[in-house]
Every structure is written in C-alpha cells, then in structure tokens.
Structure 1
Amino acid sequence: MSDDQDVRWLDPAEQHAWRAYIVASLRLRQRLHRELTESHGISLADYEVLVCLNLAPDRCTRMTELAAQLGSTKSRLSHQIGKLEIAGLVTRRPDPEDKRGVLTELTDAGQRVLDEAAPTHVRGAREHLIDLLTPAEQTAVATAFTRVLEHLDDVEGRRDTLT
C-alpha cells in the first residue's frame, strides 16, 4: 500500500473536472439507457453489444474480442449474450479456426432491433452531449478520451478498443 505522501492529490480545478466527468458520464449513460428501454425495450449495454457486432466483419466476432471492445469481463458478457441469444438477437457458435473460441453473430432480428433503436440513441447522444459542445470541444473530448483509451489499452495489454 502506498504512503499518502506519494499521492499527487487533485487541486480544486482538477477535482472539479474529475467530479464533473464522473457524475455527468454516469447520468448520461443512465439517461441513454432509459430512453432505449422505454422506446425499444433494450438496455444501453445490449445496444452497445449489437453495435459492436454490426461493425464487425460479417456481423460476427469472437467473444474475447467483444469483451475487450466493451470493457466487459468474459463472464458478464457471456451472461449478457445468453439473454440476447434467448431473445433471438444474436447466436453463438464455436470458432472453426480455434475450437476453444466462441463466435457471436448478430442475427437479422438483432439487426432490426438495432436499426429501430439507433435513431433514438443518436438523438439522445446529440441532445445530451454532442449538440452541447462546440466543434472545437468535440475535437478536444475525442482527443482526450482517445488518449485515455490508448493508455488503458497499454496498461491492460489490449489492442485498439475503438474499432
């Protein structure tokens, strides 16, 4: 355990930036989740899975890669994918190139749910974040959080998680 003398405590401006980020990001995710569940019966977490699969070649990816993209544990993602599979939105099958791996694929029904929910999500993203920022602020946010993701990828030994 580290000694308190080794800690670089946050000054008031840094503390304000940190707290604003923490509270706003949590509330933003809660708001986007509520809009998706009320309008389409799908959680924000499930929507994000469908988006990742939609962006993957052939709408299919390995579970380990999907977990990395979503910042999820394999166990938590497996449970979530199980629920999506029961709903008919995704399917799982063994990876023919690596029998230990599992592929998850977006079904046509999953694509329809994604297509129906996407406008709601984009409206929410615009209303609650993007349109509140100037183009320069949008660039600054993208630059800052790309740097954070790259740092986290480095310390966690992961590849690029933005794709």
Structure 2
Amino acid sequence: MSETQVIRVRYWAAARAAAGIAEEEVAVAGPLTLAELRAEVVGRHAGTRLPEVVGVCSVLVGERPVSSTDPAAVVVQPGETVEFLPPFAAADRSPIGHDELVRRLDSLPPLSVRRQRTRRGDQCRTRPPRDRPRRSGATAATAWCSAVS
C-alpha cells in the first residue's frame, strides 16, 4: 500500500491573486515532473487567470531556480516546496503610449502639498509620513518642487 505524500505549492503576487490562495498542498503518490505539477494546479483553478500567470512565472523547487529548465525534465519529490513567482514589474500588461500615460497621471488625485520657507525661497513639498519622526532637512521621503506662484 503506497502512502500519499504532499508537495507544497506557494503562489506569489499575481499568481496568488489568480489562484485566490497563498499556498496549497498537492497530494501525490510519488515524484512528479514540474510539467505534471503545473497541469495539476492549473486544473484545480480552472476558470481563473492562473494558467496565463503560471506560464510566465519563474519557478523555484526548494531553493533551486528551475525556470530555464524544461518543465518535463524537472523532477519534484514529495515533501518539496514549489514556488511560482510572476514578474513583479507587471509584464502581463501591454505597454501604453505617452498620451495614455499623461491621461492616467492627470486622473490621479493631487498630492497633499504644503508651502515652506527655505533658504532658497518659497518651496513646496509633499507631507512626510506621519508615522516617522520629523527630521531637519530634506529626506528621501520628502519630494521637493518649485512653488508655482
């Protein structure tokens, strides 16, 4: 009688959103190829964007990156963890043109700006986060711009 073991599958970022869960366990009787495991998890989440997202993901088996290897050649042993990491720079979106970018930026709400007197004259800056202590001088969290008069 064979004992059923599991492979833990973790989803990150867009893969997590598409699957609707952060991780799951896949019951297996023995080793699987990465291609078989991918087909299993895609089948579990039919009707979602997971097939598209998993297709562009980088994959880790344990601590080992295997994205450049043929999925049919990668063997996943029971007890291992497989992680699907989508491109974090929104690679699934098509590029937009300049006019569309300007339109989207114009539709954003304005920043909270306050005027401040400095040695260089009138300046404006965005408010620093309230959870940080205030420091003198400009910090990385402070954006400066010339005042419009």
Superposition TM-score, scaled by structure 1 size: 0.25
Max Rg structure:
2
Greater helix fraction, Structure 1 or Structure 2:
1
Quick check: which one's strand share is greater?
2
After TM superposition, the score normalised by the length of structure 2 is 0.27
